[in-house]
Structure 1
Amino acid sequence: MSDNIATQARNKAGGYYKEGYNCAEAIFLAFREYLAPELSPELVKLITGFGSGVGHAGCLCGALSGSVMALNMVKGRTSNQEKRDAAYDTVRQFHDRFREQFGSTDCRVLNPHPHDTPEQLKNCLKITGGTAKLLMEFLQEKSLYKMAE
């Protein structure tokens, strides 16, 4: 497993976050480049409301939501005739790994700081970058991403 590509993914997602994208958008944009570069970056608009635990509700972490979308790029189905089990299993495994790594999947638990404060932004940057690194490691471990030779 290449730690370099995992670190690169962390930095790429962190870079998007620093540019003003939320946690979910940053993960989506970074992994779109790795997994489905043919997808328009404008699809980020489908992700916006997942930030801050689904629109400031503090529920499922946006970085985790963005990761689910990234995993769907490689495991999602395109027809209702296809089975969902592979996608569900893969997403559940990553969900469990995320919870093990960060201690929760709940945005308000992961980041108890008031929204848009320096503390909240710094913590979300750390979580977003850490999630991107964890996701790339997971993708490589599951042979869902191989670096171009």
Structure 2
Amino acid sequence: MKPNLDSEETRSGKINVLLADDIKKTQPEMAMALFRKGYNCAQSVFLAFCDQCGMEFETATRLSSSFGAGMGRLREVCGGVTGMFMVVGLLYGYYDPDDQTKKTEHYQRIQYLASQFEEKNHSIICSELLGLEKGKDSPVPELRTEAYYKNRPCEALIGSAAEILRNYIKEQK
């Protein structure tokens, strides 16, 4: 079941996540809308699928909060890709550390998804996707202004990751 996006429940009180009509959006559209609401790239993808993972919205938000901007603004693996991997881990991941077959299958799955994203977007590395020099960025996130959204490909990259993931999940059924 999708989270009630017009509800205002959280652990300590209230949070307005999205408008009620956003519930009808596809997961890629939902991920992009979440990004526009201020969630980071990893959160945006992960939250668009948290209902399928059986995870409560606030827990999913907190769990994925460290992985935005290429992992805490380190500009490494794109947060959208990381969000995709988190969902796949919850849905199809292994749990027995001695099961080499399941580990191999899961790593193949992750490499396949990474290659799908890279094929569409030419990289899975945040700094490369944004045309930035390698290396960590200031820990202070940029303010989300219209100029920010206009100058960054992040929203489209998040949509791309969510679309790849949605298609992958459909193929597994």
Q: TM-score, normalised by structure 2?
A: 0.70
Unaligned runs of 5+ in 1: 1-6
- Answering whether residue 33 of structure 2 is matched by residue 15 of structure 1, we say yes
What residue is the counterpart of 2:110 in the other structure? Answer: 91
SS in structure 1 of the partner of residue 74 of structure 2: coil
Give 1:1-149 correspondences, 5 Å limit: 8-33=26-51, 35-36=52-53, 38-41=54-57, 42-82=59-99, 83-112=102-131, 115-116=142-143, 118=146, 120-122=148-150, 123-141=153-171, 143=172, 146=173
Q: What is the rounded CA distance, in whole Å, between the counterparts of 1:77 and 1:120 in structure 2? A: 38
Post-superposition offset of 1:30: 0.6
Q: Which runs of 4+ in 1 moved over 4 A?
A: 113-120
Q: TM-score, normalised by structure 1?
A: 0.80
Post-superposition offset of 1:133: 1.1
Post-superposition offset of 1:77: 2.2
Aligned residues: 135
Higher helix share: 1
Post-superposition offset of 1:112: 3.0
Q: What is the rounded CA distance, in whole Å, between the counterparts of 2:77 and 2:148 in structure 1? A: 16
**One-letter amino acid of the counterpart of residue 21, structure 1:** Y
Unaligned runs of 5+ in 2: 1-24
Aligned 8 A contact 1:25 1:44 in 2:
yes
Q: What is the rounded CA distance, in whole Å, between the counterparts of 2:147 and 2:80 in structure 1? A: 17
Percent identity at matched positions?
A: 26
Instruction: Classify 1:121/1:32 alpha carbon distance in 2 versus 1 (closer, same or farther; 3 Å).
Output: same
Structure with the greater alpha carbon radius of gyration: 2
Q: What is the rounded CA distance, in whole Å, between the counterparts of 2:121 and 2:97 in structure 1? A: 34
